[in-house]
Amino acid sequence: MFSIVLCILLCFVFNFWWKRKCYDPHGPPIHPGALPIIGNAHQFLGDGLKLWKFLKELSYFSLKCGGVSTVYLGPLHRIYIVTDPDDCLTLSNACLDKPFIYDIVKEWANNGLITADVSIWKPHRKLLNPMFNQKILHENLEIFNSQARRLVEQMSVELEKGKFATHKYIVSNSQETVCQIILNLTSDTFDDVIKGYSKATQDLLDVFIAKSQKLWLHIPFIFKRSSYKKKLDRSIEITTAILNRVIQNQKAELKKSNFTVNANRAVTFLDLMLTVQETQGSFTDDDIREHLDQLAFTAFDTTTETLTFGLKLIGSNERVQQRIYEELKEVLGDTNADVSRYDLPQLVYLDAVVREILRTYSTVPFAARKILKDIKLKNYTLRANSIGAISVFGIHRHPIWGADVEEFRPERWLEPSLAFNDNPSLFAAFSLGKRNCIGKWYAMISIKTTLAHLLRHYRLYADDKKMTVKFDVSIRAIAGHEISLERR
């Protein structure tokens, strides 16, 4: 009897403490459905479909509350959902540390740009920024073009056969592109290195997806004894061995030429990192490997999913597709011509289409920051020792975009009155602030070049209304994303 009374009393005291902890007269509203002690944790449970539905609900509720709302993961973790563009920029620049949420990939990513502590991230980002400018990427346009042609050829087997899933073609093509531009792996090494690296990368992704959906895997004791831990260790061992070999081989080649890249090939990111290591002593081999691993992984994953969504959206909008085709004919002329550095700025409508794809389906719909001190926003104060979740999905659904915010309409990017012209924070597909995505120009050039080649050769047919999307590490189309092709 005494034990029962004691349990009831403890529950009462804990519940009272939890309510006092959650109460903040100057804080944003708590998302509906929060329960005593566990908060909103139960609403995050379920598969990727359910999770994506709930994450969208969080964003819409935040928008209704003026751009900020609150959720609780148990009694210890308070998360602010921020959707106001100005507040998101304030949060992004004031808080650069990453919270525990990123621990899903920390064992693999370690000190790469995504997960590194600020003390490491800041000097490394400063060194890496010059490597990702448009000039460097333009030097690799020959690879972007040849890979786009390769994709056109690979997809030709599906001509007039009805609907098919594009993902398998885009995945392998994107991996090959990444391996050439970032790692300097040529076609001679595709079979023995790229395939091995690609397989290990896919296994890593499977582990990250499992950890994002199965909350019990976040408990170290359980994860260490699971099959996923073995899979993670094996994949890390493979990618580490491959990248170490690539780094040493490339370092030896550059030393022979006194760190001058052969004029017959483009400069890769690996070349640039090794040159900085040699001239400034700023990177260790482990630093280079971790940066390369993260860059290759994120570049492959985000461009793959964006192209999958993009082909579906374009194939569902004949008017948009025809306008892209007419612009391509006007700018490029010959259907087999390469896309040059001078052509890219002239493909104005295609650029608008790519931006609208990224606005409609941002593959990374949330970014999170650790709040170490109180942050004053326009209407609320975010308390220290909390997490700030920047909802990219919410920013891209903000009412300022107009009544047609849910529609795929590339023309909005060409209108002088577009609110984005006055507030760049309205477009957050590559995150916001100082710790934004370093690979923005890689993604834009890769996607535009690929679409330019595909749409000059094929007419696409699709129905985006039948597409089903889930969330794990990023958002992915898992059903209804098939298209069909017809040669132009």
Q: Residue range 221-241: average pLDDT? A: 89
Contact (Cβ atoms closer than 8 angstroms) between residue 80 and residue 375: no
Q: Which of 21-25, 126-130, 310-314, 476-480 has the lowest mean pLDDT?
A: 21-25
Question: Is the Cβ–Cβ distance between 92 and 390 less than 8 Å?
Answer: yes
Give exposure, 424-448, as e/b (b: 16+ Cβ within 10 Å). Answer: ebbbbbbbbbebebbbebbbbbbbb
Mean pLDDT of 376-405: 94
Cβ pair 381, 87 in contact under 8 A: no
Whole-number pLDDT of residue 198:
77
pLDDT at residue 143 tops 70 = yes
Q: What is the pLDDT of residues 324-358, one digit of tens each?
A: 999 999 999 877 899 999 999 999 999 999 999 99
pTM for the model: 0.91
Q: Which residues contact 438 (CB under 8 A, 6 or more apart)?
A: 113, 125, 128, 129, 132, 295
Instruction: Report the percent of the chain where pLDDT is more than 90.
Output: 51
Please tell me the predicted confidence (pLDDT) of residue 301: 82
Tell me what the pLDDT averaged over the chain comes to. Answer: 87
What single-letter DSSP state applies at residue 207?
Answer: H
Three-state secondary-structure class, residue 482: coil
Judged against a pLDDT cut of 70, whether residue 19 lies above it is answered with no
pLDDT computed for residue 181 by the predictor: 84
Q: E strand or H helix at 72, and its extent?
A: strand 68-73
Does position 171 have pLDDT exceeding 70, yes or no? Answer: yes
Q: How many other C-beta atoms lie within 10 A of the C-beta of residue 423?
A: 14
7 belongs to an annotated ligand binding site: no
How far is it, in rounded angstroms, from Cα 486 to Cα 488? 6
Q: What per-residue confidence (pLDDT) applies to 6? A: 54
Split at pLDDT 50, 70, 90, the class of 60 is very high
pLDDT of residue 397: 96
Q: What is the pLDDT of residues 242-259, one digit of tens each?
A: 888 888 988 888 888 887
The mean pLDDT value for 272-298 works out to 87
pLDDT of residue 191: 59
What percentage of the chain has pLDDT greater than the value 70?
91
Residue 293 and residue 109 in contact, taking contact as beta carbons nearer than 8 Å: yes
Query: With b meaning 16 or more CB within 10 Å and e meaning fewer, what string describes 30-52?
Result: bbeebeeeebbbebbeeebeebb
Residue 192 DSSP symbol: I
In the predicted structure, residue 29 carries a pLDDT above the cut 90? yes
**So what's the pLDDT on residue 443?**
92
How confident is the model over 188-215, as pLDDT tens digits? 555 567 677 778 887 888 888 887 777 7
State the pLDDT confidence band at 268, using cuts at 50, 70 and 90.
confident
Confidence of residue 22 (pLDDT cuts 50, 70, 90): low
Burial 180-213 (b: 16+ CB within 10 A, else e): bbbbbbeeebbeebbeebbebbebbbebbbbbbb
The answer to whether 453 and 145 are in contact (CB under 8 A) is yes
Across 430-436, average pLDDT:
93
Between 477 and 419, where is the model more confident?
Answer: 477
Checking if the pLDDT of 4 tops 90, the result is no
Q: Is the pLDDT of residue 74 over 70?
A: yes
**Cα 54 from Cα 48, distance rounded (Å):** 10
Rounded mean pLDDT, 410-417: 88
pLDDT at 224 over 70: yes
pLDDT at 1: 58
